[in-house]
Chain A
Amino acid sequence: MMIELENISRIRNNQSIDLNKITALSYHAFFDLSIKLFEQESKHCLTYFAYKKDKGLQFIMAVADDENHDIILLSHFLKSSEKQELKSLSETIFALHIFESEIHENFGVDFLNHPWLKPVRFAHNRANKKSQISNYPFYAIQSEELHEVGVGPIHAGIIEPGHFRFICNGENVLHLEIQFGWQHRGVEQLFLDKKHNLQRNILAENIAGDTVIGHTSTFVQTMEALADKQVSEQTQIERALALELERIAIHTGDIGALCTDAAYHLGSNVFAILRTLIINFTQFWCGNRFGKSLIRLGGTHLPFTEEFKKELLEVLLKFEKQFNEMAYVTYHLPSIQNRFDFVGTVSQKQARLIGTVGVSARMSQIERDIRVSHPNFAYQKYPYKTITAEKGDVFARFLLKKKEIARSIAWIRNLMDNYQFEASKTEKPNYNLTLQTNKLAISINEAWRGEVCHCAITNEEGNLEHYKITDPSLHNWKALELSLRNVEISDFPINNKSYNLSYCGHDL
């Protein structure tokens, strides 16, 4: 039986669906349909995971459809009595490799002909306990001329653990392999273990320390969808506002960090100072520079008011003036252009192949932006126009960050001019939401790095049965590996910094 594309289950962003309404397919049909779906450029995989259910494994795949602005859900079931073996989709659709690897690691399902079946994060509850960090199967080339350089997991700076292994021919990198799995946090399991929603809310804030707003707002939207709870308009707008502020702050910090790595200390200092302006405003608003405690289930303790609006507009005015001045100098500096241009290029074809999202997709002229393709209420009311760069090199990423900052400021200004904030329009948080039974809810947000996707499933009693987090970094780390092909090893730091991907977002 061949299911036609029109008949498959679809939901909008931030909605829930009955589990039995999700199109259930045989693996054969699932396989064919997936290949058909991903032939289209408007579709990309949000998440693909499995969880233990009844006597087997329930697989769920969520595919973003940019044309219809909704999410396609597909599922198939693998009984434990069957042979735990599936034909790999990654062979045809490489973007799925990381999801299949993850399923393989967690449940021991073999994916036949998987081109790059590697351990993902060495979770405590992985299927094969013999798979250890110490016996990670690194790709190796036997040669007298080549040498390997290993960097990490302990780094010189205060960054997270990750091991980078380069195969080099002199100064040139032939191949880079990145090995994660040093953190063993088990975040997804914690969402099930912690029963109180406030605990989960705080947990969401700590999924990735630099994407507090991105992950927390996705978490609350998922849970609210599960509970069918409508939050006030202003709260939804506040969440989007916080998201944009986070984007401006982190992008500015990244621009500064790139200047540091190019040894341009003037730029590095000035951008660091400018970032402080924005995060200090976030602190003024909610008491935490990274926006912790700002976003809460069902409402907020810290509503945005007209007083904040006045302050924010002043901060933005000051920020924009100084930022533009410094950016003009930095982006026109010949030595900066010389350093960043034509380094670490990822072509559009490569980027599509590996399924990059967010900034890492837009740098190669792929218009992939959840704010445009799957906008939530705030972005429907105040539309955002996405922006792309062309070349996919370090300079493209450097430039894109600057342009996105300008767009975000313009978006915030438009919002400030047209929306009247009042504390009375918001509600207090509600942690005692009753979740609907046998539902699946999915939420996606365009955080500063790219799309954050949370997916939650409830059982018959209305308890969380599975919680799945997909950080944009999971899609994008491969892009860094590709960037380094045939690039000098000394260009690694600027490449790494230009992506600024998350280690803990990967090591959930």
Chain B
Amino acid sequence: MISLLLILISSLFFVGIIVKTKAKIAARKMPSVLQPVYDVVRLFKKGAVYSQTTSAIFKMAPLVYFASVFLAVLFIPIGSQKALLSFDGDFVFFAYLLGIGKFMMIIAAMDTGSGFEGMGANREALYSMLVEPAFFILVGSVALFTNNVSFQDLFLHLKLDTNLYYIIGIASIYVFVYIAMVENSRMPVDDPKTHLELTMVHEVMILDNSGFDLALIHIVTWLKFSIYGALISNFIISNSWAIYWQIAAFFGIQLAFSLTVGILEAFKARNKMEKNPQWIIMLSAISIVVFLTVLIITEKIILN
């Protein structure tokens, strides 16, 4: 229960901190870290406008998207705090929960019949597909390493105590940071700020959503960031720490994560669209390094 609360609380600030960081670096002012929250509250008060070409799928999609990601949150433990739900192999379930949400958004975008949204849906599907191996190879490796197959047990038994183990930790964090960036359509794959129909990926898919639906979609973005932040924190937080240290460390890591995203985005231009697949496959390559390291540590491969 505590882990759910922590993730929900940290999600409120996440996007605000990213924007604030970017604004600070670019010598601009930004109203408040809570501005995204105010925006969502405003959106909740509004009604939604639906295009006449859309069907029930379009109305359903944001709710399914939100529900699936919210359900996924329940599987995340933090340090010694147990997840609400857990069973063997739940990380596969977790990945496809996110997948269901994304699938609904993609078909909803196609449902509008807009050429742009079709293009965005096409790109989003491609990138999600490419990022999937990175996630599975990485989590699979950690599972192999700890001999556990649920998120909760896997992280409970994850102890990084020798030098070789640090490779796993650092590589995993690196990959998770960028998986989070791809999943949330941030730089360098996509940029929510450059509003150009032809270049957008995720933003173009939600062009037709408004009011309540749009608010849900924004909340999902926060949650997704927070989920990945929580996963990253699990690589660092040791469950032997006192509970208040764990909570403090969790918020510290979330803050550091959001600052990192902000800084990464501020000093960089986005990728050329055709180079994105290459770039995303790089994440899988790093995951494979983790996988090989685990094989060596667990002596499944013996080096002479």
Contacts and interface: CB of A to CB of B under 8 A. Distances in A.
Interface of A: 147-151, 156-157, 171, 259-266, 268-270, 273, 333, 335-336, 338-339, 343, 488-493
Interface string B158-194: 0000000000000000000000000000011001011
Contacts, number: 84
Nearest to B192: A263
Contact of A263 (B25, B115, B193, B198): B193
Contacts of A261: 194, 196, 199
Given A156-B195, A156-B196, A260-B194, A265 B271 contact: no
B153 interface: no
B115 A149 contact: yes
Contacts of A491: 272-273
Contact of A264 (B115, B116, B269): B269
B198 A151 contact: yes
Contacts of A150: 115
Contacts of B265: 263, 265
A339 B272 contact: yes
B270 A339 contact: yes
Given A150-B115, A488-B273, A269 B26 contact: yes
B266 interface: yes
Contact of A492 (B198, B267, B270, B274): B198
A263 to B, nearest CB: 4
B124 to A, nearest CB: 13
Q: Which 7 A-B pairs have the closest CB atoms?
A: A263-B191, A262-B269, A490-B273, A335-B269, A263-B270, A264-B269, A493-B196
B111 interface: no
B109 to A, nearest CB: 15
Given A263-B269, A269-B28, A492-B198, 11 more contacts: A262-B270, A263-B268, A266-B26, A266-B267, A335-B270, A339-B271, A343-B272, A488-B272, A488-B274, A490-B199, A490-B273
A149 B204 CA distance: 14
Contact of A171 (B25, B188, B191, B273): B273
Question: In terms of DSSP, what is the predominant structure of the interface of chain B?
Answer: loop
A156 B196 CA distance: 7
Contacts of A265: 22, 26, 193, 265-266
A489 B191 CA distance: 16
B163 to A, nearest CB: 31
Nearest to B28: A269
Contacts of B28: 269
B276 to A, nearest CB: 10
B83 to A, nearest CB: 36
B212 to A, nearest CB: 23
Given A156-B195, A265-B22, A171 B272 contact: no
Contact of A489 (B119, B193, B267): B119
A151 B194 CA distance: 16
Nearest to B207: A156
Contacts of B194: 260-263, 493
14 contacts: A148-B115, A150-B115, A157-B195, A262-B270, A264-B269, A265-B26, A266-B26, A268-B26, A273-B27, A333-B268, A339-B270, A343-B272, A488-B274, A493-B199
B197 interface: yes
Contacts of A262: 194, 269-270
Nearest to A497: B196
B275 interface: yes
A260 B272 CA distance: 14
Contacts of A269: 26-28
Nearest to A264: B269
B182 to A, nearest CB: 15
Interface in B187-222: 187-188, 191, 193-199
Contacts of B22: 265
Q: Give the size category of B's interface with A.
A: 20 to 34
Interface of B: 22, 25-28, 115-116, 119, 187-188, 191, 193-199, 265-275
Nearest to B118: A147
Contacts of B193: 263, 265
Contacts of B267: 266, 333
Contacts of B266: 265-266
A507 to B, nearest CB: 22
A109 B287 CA distance: 67
A333 B273 contact: no
Contacts of B275: 338
Contact of B269 (A273, A339, A492): A339
Nearest to A157: B195
B27 A270 contact: yes
Contacts of B199: 261, 490, 492-493
Contacts of B269: 259, 262-264, 333, 335-336, 338-339
A438 B270 CA distance: 58
Contacts of B268: 263-264, 333, 335
A335 B22 CA distance: 17
A241 to B, nearest CB: 30
Contact of B197 (A151, A263, A335): A151
A337 B95 CA distance: 35
Contacts of B270: 262-263, 335, 339
A71 B179 CA distance: 61
A259 B26 CA distance: 12
Nearest to A147: B115
Contacts of A338: 269, 271-272, 275
Nearest to A164: B198
A335 B27 contact: no
Nearest to B274: A488
A493 B273 CA distance: 12
Contacts of B27: 269-270, 273
A457 B293 CA distance: 82
